[in-house]
Structure 1
Amino acid sequence: MKKLLAAALLLTSTASAETVATGDMGVVIERATGSVLLVDQSERAALARIEGFGDLSHASLVYSPDERFAYIFGRDGGLTKLDITTRQIVNRVMQSGNAIGGAISDDGKLVAVSNYEPGGVRVFDADTLELVLDIPTGGKTIGLVDAPGRRFVFTVWDTGETWIADLTEAEPQITRIPDMGDRPYDALITANGRTYITGLFGEDGMTALDLWDENPEPIRVLPNYGRGQEEMPVYKMPHLEGWALTGTEFVLPAVGHHEVLWVDADTLEETARTKTHGQPVFAMARPDGRQVWVNFAHPLNDTIQVIDSVSKEIIHQFQPGPAVLHMEFTPRGHEVWLSVRDAGKIMVYDTRTFEKLREIDAESPSGIFFTARAHRTGL
């Protein structure tokens, strides 16, 4: 009788429990208020505002493999773990004085944070947020990404070195690669985890590493191109994680120039250039690769241009509003969400017709992060 009663109670409890699916969700950073907005893609709606994240003026986040937890990296050095199913902060640590993003290991067990002050990278247990490893670098670290095999790759602004931290064993293995260039400011890793590319602020060109090589060495990319040719003012540094890969070509925002560059993904040789409305910040590919959407630095940051990746020509231009800071495509690319900071809006557009589908109120929105990122290397 007791077993039957227990089974009946279990069935009743299971039937009445609310099912929360995370695959349609996303988190929007509200940079001015230290809050985030939980959103639903299919409903094109805000679900909840959660507060208490500190300084989000330059914030990013990563997701746990099951899409339940978001790890939010604040500019003030705060690392906050958010449970998006309960809509609550479950843990928060102040791990440095000034942080610049982070990454999660491919197995979802470790979260690493890149720091300006005191510099270096700190690695935490993803479950408890207890410190696992402190990696001093002697300088500001940028371009921190995850790589296959429980590795983190990052670069040091001050020394021009890229470090590879392999954490598969109890004793971490650190590889340091010098001569990456003068003042690397950001980096990306390709979705297959093979190519790591840093952008250089102090000299023309970029630098790549082939992470499939047992002993990766710097590979110069576009060595004769950059801000040094004309010494143009740079109003905002491009975000390299927003670089696009369309078929066999990268599309890169040019530092200080009103154009994007097309680069062969295999040879890393330039193939074309497209003139743009202003200095590009993000050049992001629709998931099928057919379109590249570009936003721009101040004072031309009210405009979006859409480039066809076959013709490499601009096929659409419009002005969503003042200060378009970020773009995020739905996983299959039928829609794109834009954060329009100074309008206090998130705007949703159809990527085929370019029709505006919805506006969502938000407090100074910036980064938009859908949970599909949980399954992609480097995001």
Structure 2
Amino acid sequence: MLVSISAAFLGVAPAQDLRATGDLGVVVERATGSLLIIDQSEHAAIGRVEGLGDLSHASVVFSADERFAFVFGRDGGLTKVDLLTQSIDGRVVQSGNAIGGAISDDGQLVAVSNYEPGGVRVFDAETLESVADIPTGSKTIGLVDAPGRRFVFTLWDAGETWIADFSGEEPAITRIGGIGRNPYDALITGDGRRYIAGLFGEDGLTALDLWQDPPVPQRILSGYGKGEEALPVYKMPHLEGWALAGERFVLPAVGRHEVLWVDSRTLAEAGRTATHGQPVFAVARPDGRQVWVNFAHPLNDTIEVIDTLTPGPAVLHMEFTARGHEVWVSVRDAGRVDIYDARSFEKLGEIAAENPSGIFFTARAHRTGL
């Protein structure tokens, strides 16, 4: 016997009202404290959520089901945004000055890295209730998620990296010294094994093998600018958008017009490429065949695909679709997001946005460290 049950009876919205989350993303509108919700297939903005505070250095992570975006604002605000209802699901101002965050591998905890008063605070991802407060006595940077319900972060003032393990009843903290002077950002590899901190106070980076117990700092690319006059740093490069092209990392050099190539197995320098300006993000196409690089002021109108495009003034961020067929580019001073075919470089479309900066697609929900 065939029984027909209406969608209304089940409390399910009609099909025309349903929308999947895997095709969605967000664009940070920094000047207006808003979030533009975008649809990849439609090449269109489908909504805007306002009231998110100071988004001048905002970043975003996603819940495991891709429905919720957790937005970390510079004013210390942590905002949970529902992409389907296009509304704020919760918001807490948890510090005076924040610099990003991460979500645990099980999707249950959200951590926020703070400049003022420093330290890391951890919240329940569903309710945004406080779970832990980890004071450090320092600005914290480079906060990432690591396998095993762990968070890893580094201290600007103390030159230490801390690992906070939330797999037990109480968080366990491991402190690792000897990272170097003024670490400014860090990355974790997609397998969760290597954590690499960039150093502002000296030429070089420091790597940790998180499979070691305890991890031992390993200095890499020491003195890469030795003997050459340092240039003014107009914008600190970002390591979170790190590139892995084949078996090589591609990392932006601080205060230099070049990117650095590092063998991912030995962590030895494997080469350098001169660039158009001081690189900010170096991002690999998902197949690893190309690396796309954008630059600091005053040369921030250009992207190099180690090949060159000139989209417009103040290119701040790039995001590839999950399989790498398109790249979306925020062009802040032109007030738009440009969409390119990642192979032919053909411009496919554009979306108007208010001073756009970061672009984040929901596929990040399933990638370590993003």
Residue matched to 2:190 = 191
Give the Cα separation in 1 of the matches to 2:349 and 2:11.
37
CA offset at residue 226 of structure 1? 3.8
The secondary structure found in structure 1 opposite 2:333 is helix
2:360 to 356, 369, 378: 369
What letter corresponds to residue 354 of structure 1 in structure 2? F
Matched to 2:319, the amino acid is: E
* Residue of structure 1 equivalent to 2:295: 296
- Residues 13-36 of structure 1, C-alpha deviation per residue, up to 9 Å, x if partnerless? 536252220000000000000001
Q: CA deviation at 1:123?
A: 0.2
Which aligned segments of 4 or more residues in structure 1 are displaced greater than 2 angstroms? 7-18, 226-229
Tell whether the 8 Å contact from 2:248 to 2:262 is kept in structure 1 after alignment: yes
| Residue 52, structure 1, aligned to residue 51, structure 2 | yes
**Cα 1:232–1:350, aligned 2, differ >3 Å: closer, same or farther?**
same
Residue identity matched to 1:247: G
Aligned to 1:141: 140
Displacement after TM superposition at 1:148 (Å): 0.1
**Alignment-derived partner of residue 343 in structure 2:** 352
Give the letter for the 1:235 counterpart.
Y
Partner in structure 1 of residue 40 of structure 2: 41
Is 1:130 the counterpart of 2:121 in the alignment?
no
Which of 11, 14, 17 aligns to 1:16? It is 14
- TM-superposed CA distance for 1:108, in Å, is 0.3
The one-letter code matched in structure 1 to 2:12 is T
| Contact 1:326–1:367 under 8 Å retained in 2 | yes
Q: Deviations over 1:173-224 (max 9, x none)?
A: 1000001000000000000000000000001100000001111010000112
In 1: Cα distance, 2:244 partner to 2:194 partner: 12
Name structure 1 gaps, 5 residues minimum.
Answer: 308-315
Distance 1:8 1:46, change over 3 A: closer
In the TM superposition, what is the alpha-carbon distance from 1:10 to its structure 2 partner? 5.1
Q: What letter corresponds to residue 316 of structure 2 in structure 1?
A: L
Q: In the alignment, residue 251 of structure 2 is paired with which amino acid?
A: L
Q: Report if aligned partners of 2:259, 2:272 keep a CA contact under 8 Å in 1.
A: yes
TM-score w.r.t. the length of structure 1 is 0.94
Structure 1 vs Structure 2 CA RMSD: 1.4
What is the CA distance between 1:229 and its match in structure 2? 4.0
1:213 corresponds in structure 2 to: 212
Q: Residue in 2 aligned with 1:171?
A: 170
Please tell me whether the aligned partners of residues 22 and 68 of structure 1 are also in contact (alpha carbons under 8 angstroms).
yes
Cα 1:320–1:215 change in 2 (3 A) is: same
Shift of 1:231: 2.2
SS at match of 1:164: strand
Q: Distance in 1 between matches of 2:34 and 2:171?
A: 35
Mark the CA change 1:16 to 1:158 in structure 2 (over 3 Å): closer, same or farther: same
Matches for 1:57-76 after TM superposition, within 5 Å: 57-76=56-75
Instruction: Tell me what 1:328 maps to.
Output: 319
Q: Is the 8 A contact 2:230 2:256 kept in 1?
A: no
Q: How much does 1:73 deviate?
A: 0.2
Q: Aligned partners of 2:42 and 2:64: how far apart in 1?
A: 23
Q: Distance in 1 between matches of 2:37 and 2:271?
A: 39
The CA distance in 2 between the partners of 1:16 and 1:296, in whole Å, is: 46
Gap runs ≥5 in structure 2: none
Question: 2: distance between equivalents of 1:8 and 1:252?
Answer: 55
Q: 1:70 to 1:228 in 2, by over 3 A?
A: farther
* Partner of residue 162, structure 1: 161
Residue identity in the other structure for 1:370:
F
* Aligned residue type for 1:152: F
CA separation in 1, counterparts of 2:119 and 2:14?
Answer: 48
Which residue number corresponds to residue 282 of structure 1?
281
1:236 paired with 2:230, answer no
Who is 2:114 aligned against?
115
- Identical aligned pairs, as a percentage? 73
Work out the CA distance in 2 between the residues paired with 1:15 and 1:177.
Answer: 51
